Amino acid sequence: MVSRFAMNLRWMLIFFGFLMQVDLNRAGVPLLEIVSEPDIRTGIEAAEYASELQRLVRYLGVSNGNMQEGSLRCDVNISVRPTGQLEFGTKVEIKNLNSFSSVSRAIDYEISRQVQLHSQGQVDQIVQETRLWEEGAQKTVTMRKKEGLADYRYFPEPDLPGVTLTEEYVDSIRESLPELPEDKRRRYEKMGLSMQDVLFLANDINIADFFDTTIAGGADVKLAANWIMGDIAAYMKNEKVNINEIKLTPQELGELIASIKDGTISGKIGKEILFELIAKGGTVKGLIKEKDLVQIVDTAEIEKMVDKVIADSPKQLEQYRGGKTKLQGYFAGQVMKESKGKANPKLLNKILLEKLNAKS
Amino acid sequence: MPYFARSRLKCAFELGVTKAVDLAAASLQRLRRTEPHIKSFLYVSDDVLKKAEEIDRKIAENEELGPLAGVLVGVKDNICTFDMPSTAGSKILENYRPPFDATAVGKMKKCGAIVIGKTNMDEFGMGSTTEGSAYQVTANPWDLSRVPGGSSGGSAAAVSARQCMVSLGSDTGGSVRQPASFCGVVGLKPTYGRVSRYGLVAYASSLDVIGCFGSSVADAGILLHAIAGHDKFDATSSKREVPDFASQFIARDNLDSKPLKGLRVGLIRETIEDGVDQEVISSIRGAASHLEELGCTVTEVSLPSFSLGLPAYYILASSESSSNLSRYDGVRYGKQVVADELNSLYGESRAGGLGSEVKMRILMGTYALSAGYYDAYYKRAQQVRTLVRESFRAALDENDILISPAAPSAAYKIGEKKNDPLSMYAGDIMTVNVNLAGLPALVLPCGFVDSSSGALPVGIQMIGTAFEEEKLLKVGHIFEQTLQGCSFIPPLVADELAC
């Protein structure tokens, strides 16, 4: 549960030796602080909560949510208590958490540190303080002892009068909200995608948008998910680019899937031109035409190629007919090579088997 | 033409009766003569005559004149002026020149006003005598051994001694009204939010308001009209329409015998009880009789929460000031000490730059806001504030205006209360409640009390419903026009003005 939001504006001091300057680059940039109630029990839960908030701000387009750049930061407060005790123990704050995994690990470390102090009868060693997560040592260390609540001295800011939001305004905001992560996941689930697909696709708003646009054009849902999660994701990972940086458009991915489905090109060819589309762009139709990649489904044409390969390989034919039927693969490969990869594999195999097994 | 009837100044210019430059020269000359005794200004502009000449040029060339054309204005030093220092009476802002004009100043200038200089004040507005200025002590023009009141003592004294025609002050707990009373001038504290606070050095943001001084109700009203209105730079400034306050003023000759017939006036009982100077009470009772003669029905009303206002005010104002004054860290503004590290830079800049009264209020506010004390002090004071507001609302449901003294006494001696802050704070009893309720109030001279060194003016405070300055000014104007046998020009300059 979220207990309160705090908004503030930021500025900071920069020191160059004896020279002090005020950096106002972030002045006027609003900062939203979201404080949650102590409802979280483990490090992984906290990291998941934080990453859902990151997804949320990215879905809403209010922040890039990058932790490394400080666009999203997370401080955690941890307290432990003996089983059965109602009130929380003394809380300790941890700062310097630069990734969700450090959030998770720092919390788990701090829990075990505090539990250990409890079990050693040193509860008084747990003091209200701010600790720092040390990524190298994988532990928390004291940064500063808290000055105590007395030093905060919050009171209502008289220069900012209360803002009255009309119901219409709130409704208009609500109506203008995009689909939020949870809704998107539910929708993907209903489409019949696996949990793994759902989590992957909905994790990144850009990928989700890509996927949504692809299927909006009529592409098969499962095939689109497979292409994105498979070859496209692999490419992005290798080249360290995001989905908005690749040249492939959702429309062309849809076209590619359709072309394979209707047999215009083979899956193998599809994969080949996919990388071309990602790296250089262009259209599926254009590439097929340019490279003459239309699958050969003409029986007579394939027969001709099969005949040629059989005629060119008398030795292998003899061995095959002598019982070494494994050589079928060799023949199939040769024919495929002859067709420059364009022969319909099913048709090719059917004709090849007929020819090989034919009594001559 | 009486020199201070600002409402007729523009006419006089246009008719060629007088020249702006002559008026300015006369004011400057008076200022030069009286300033060594009064010390109301911290800074006097050196291009007043040039600006007055510019007005005369406009007259000669038939150009449009603003409603304040050629009017010489003193500006309290906590109101930012981009071409003059603005120190708020504090060493920590010594030589600080804001890069902008406060909205109120900008609006006056647009109307043709000439800022003559910056007036002295208690540091950051914290004080009731102007002795709290880090620079100089201002004297009361009526008796140079007495205080002019505060914190806008410089602005009040300057108008009283006719060093300028009108002036701007600020009123957080009475800082316009009490010095107006002490110096025998008109002081107008507008409704909270009526005038933009943009460019006013913040003391207590929920109470602060820029106010007007004049030697007549009309002058104060015309000045308010020039500076009032919504400002996008102050989110608390009101979007209400600003009426032309002076348009409904009726000249004395046209008044009928009971011009205020039917007006219900409530005399606040708690303000004429023990602890208030007897002569002050007599003056207020005299003023009440005068209002009755004008046709008002005057009844006593009780505001039961009245006495709670003072402690609540000092807690709230100190609390807000402890936050507002944290910006004076030696980095963002003004004076900076040389220090080895950041914390001593902050600490030493503040220790050397802030005066003792300011430090005391910051400490009190810091204490009141601390966890553990917040509920007992700040929160409690806010509850009292609600009570005060409600009791005013009830009293103003029954009455058109409320009246009271502006201060429990006339001006006292310089140094008399310097080492007795509680007694000085108690002097604010008449005014602080009005700030807590955010209401408009007009103070105008209504009589005199005797002192060893001669007569001292006494002011009556008229309190109205929020945003009804118009009614206060109308009543005040009639009151002033019909008050017989009183001249509120201090002897120091009276001879000079008579001729």
pLDDT tens-digit readout, B359-375 = 999 999 999 998 888 88
Burial of B479 by CB count in 10 Å (0-12 exposed, 13-18 middle, 19+ buried)? buried
Q: A69 Cβ partners below 8 Å, 6+ apart?
A: none
Q: Are B42 and B81 in contact (CB under 8 A)?
A: no
Active site residue B175: yes
> What average pLDDT score do residues B219-248 get?
93
Q: Are B444 and B480 in contact (CB under 8 A)?
A: yes
> Quick check: B481 pLDDT over 60?
yes
The bridge status of strand B186-189 relative to strand B210-214 is antiparallel
Among A116-125, A141-150, B164-173, B456-465, name the one with the lowest average pLDDT: A141-150
* Rounded-to-integer distance, Cα B296 and Cα B401, Å: 10
Please indicate whether, in this complex, the C-beta atoms of B323 and A155 are within 8 angstroms of each other: yes
The bridge status of strand B454-463 relative to strand B401-405 is antiparallel
All residues of chain A having their beta carbon less than 8 Å from the beta carbon of residue B331 are 13, 20, 22
* Rounded-to-integer distance, Cα A135 and Cα A137, Å: 6
* Rounded-to-integer distance, Cα A228 and Cα A219, Å: 12
Please indicate whether, in this complex, the C-beta atoms of A13 and B236 are within 8 angstroms of each other: no
Banded model confidence at residue B1, pLDDT cuts 50, 70, 90: very low
Q: Are A106 and A137 in contact (CB under 8 A)?
A: no
Nearest CB among A22, A153, A159 relative to B370 is that of: A153
Residue B415's pLDDT is what?
94
Active site residue B196: no
What does the block give as tokens for B234? Answer: 């102050």
In this structure, what are the phi and psi dihedrals at residue B187, rounded to the nearest 5 degrees? -125, 130
Q: Are A184 and A208 in contact (CB under 8 A)?
A: yes
* Rounded-to-integer distance, Cα A355 and Cα B400, Å: 114
Measured from the Cβ of residue A292, the count of other Cβ atoms closer than 10 Å reads 8
Nearest CB among A155, A160, A161 relative to B378 is that of: A155
Residue A12's pLDDT is what?
60
Q: A7 Cβ partners below 8 Å, 6+ apart?
A: A30, A31, A32, A33
* Distance between first and last Cα of chain B: 12
Banded model confidence at residue A68, pLDDT cuts 50, 70, 90: confident
Residues forming a β-bridge with B170: B210
Element (H, E) at A41: none
How far away is chain B from the Cα of A282, in angstroms, using its nearest Cα? 52
Q: Are B372 and B397 in contact (CB under 8 A)?
A: no
Each residue's pLDDT tens digit, B138-192: 999 999 999 999 999 999 999 999 999 999 999 999 999 999 999 999 999 999 9
How far away is chain A from the Cα of B357, in angstroms, using its nearest Cα? 21
* Distance between first and last Cα of chain A: 80
The bridge status of strand B114-119 relative to strand B41-44 is antiparallel
Residue A340's pLDDT is what?
82
Decide which of A269 and B120 is more confident: B120
Decide which of B72 and B421 is more confident: B72
Please indicate whether, in this complex, the C-beta atoms of A148 and B236 are within 8 angstroms of each other: no
The DSSP secondary-structure symbol of A9 reads E
How far away is chain A from the Cα of B261, in angstroms, using its nearest Cα? 39
* Rounded-to-integer distance, Cα B361 and Cα B123, Å: 11
Nearest CB among A148, A152, A159 relative to B236 is that of: A159
Q: How far is CA B302 from CA A238, B133, B388, in A?
A: 82, 36, 12
Comparing CA positions, the residue from B229, B231, B255, B230 lying closest to residue B243 is B229
Site of tokens 């003056």:
B283
Q: Strands (DSSP E) along B390-433, which ranges?
A: 401-405
> What average pLDDT score do residues B445-458 get?
93
Q: B482 Cβ partners below 8 Å, 6+ apart?
A: B252, B255, B259, B290, B293, B294
- Rg of the Cα trace of chain A? 31
* Rounded-to-integer distance, Cα B391 and Cα B399, Å: 12
Comparing CA positions, the residue from A78, A116, A76 lying closest to residue A95 is A76
By percentage, how much of chain B surpasses pLDDT 90?
80
> What average pLDDT score do residues A175-185 get?
95
Helices (H), chain A: 43-60, 100-119, 167-176, 181-190, 195-203, 205-216, 221-227, 233-239, 250-261, 267-280, 284-291, 299-312, 314-321, 328-338, 345-357
What does the block give as tokens for A86? Answer: 């109602």
> Quick check: A307 pLDDT over 50?
yes
**Closest residue in chain A to residue B320, using alpha carbons only:** A158
* Rounded-to-integer distance, Cα A203 and Cα A210, Å: 12
Each residue's pLDDT tens digit, A279-298: 888 888 888 887 777 777 78
By percentage, how much of chain B surpasses pLDDT 70?
96
* Rounded-to-integer distance, Cα B403 and Cα B6, Å: 26
**Closest residue in chain A to residue B372, using alpha carbons only:** A150
What does the block give as tokens for B350? Answer: 């503040």
Banded model confidence at residue B2, pLDDT cuts 50, 70, 90: very low
Residue B15's pLDDT is what?
64
Q: B224 Cβ partners below 8 Å, 6+ apart?
A: B188, B190, B194, B195, B212, B245, B469, B473
The bridge status of strand B72-76 relative to strand B114-119 is parallel
Banded model confidence at residue B499, pLDDT cuts 50, 70, 90: very low
Comparing CA positions, the residue from B36, B35, B140 lying closest to residue B412 is B140
Is the bond preceding residue B409 a cis peptide, omega within 30 degrees? no
All residues of chain B having their beta carbon less than 8 Å from the beta carbon of residue A149 are 371-372
Each residue's pLDDT tens digit, B239-286: 999 998 877 788 878 888 899 999 999 999 999 988 899 999 999 999
**pTM to 2 decimal places:** 0.80
Active site residue B151: yes
Nearest CB among A152, A154, A158 relative to B320 is that of: A158
**Closest residue in chain A to residue B378, using alpha carbons only:** A155
* Rounded-to-integer distance, Cα A132 and Cα B388, Å: 49
Burial of B35 by CB count in 10 Å (0-12 exposed, 13-18 middle, 19+ buried)? middle
Burial of B455 by CB count in 10 Å (0-12 exposed, 13-18 middle, 19+ buried)? middle
Sign of torsion, CA A278 A279 A281 A286? negative
What does the block give as tokens for B30? Answer: 């008076």
Each residue's pLDDT tens digit, B78-108: 999 999 999 999 999 999 999 999 999 999 9
Q: A25 Cβ partners below 8 Å, 6+ apart?
A: none
By percentage, how much of chain A surpasses pLDDT 90?
50
* Rounded-to-integer distance, Cα A221 and Cα A214, Å: 9
CA A12 to chain centre: 33
Site of tokens 């708690």:
B270
Q: Are B146 and B456 in contact (CB under 8 A)?
A: yes
All residues of chain B having their beta carbon less than 8 Å from the beta carbon of residue A160 are 235
Please indicate whether, in this complex, the C-beta atoms of B370 and A155 are within 8 angstroms of each other: no
What does the block give as tokens for B106? Answer: 């900008």
CB contacts < 8 A, A to B, total: 39
* Rounded-to-integer distance, Cα B473 and Cα A274, Å: 82
* Rounded-to-integer distance, Cα B30 and Cα B74, Å: 14
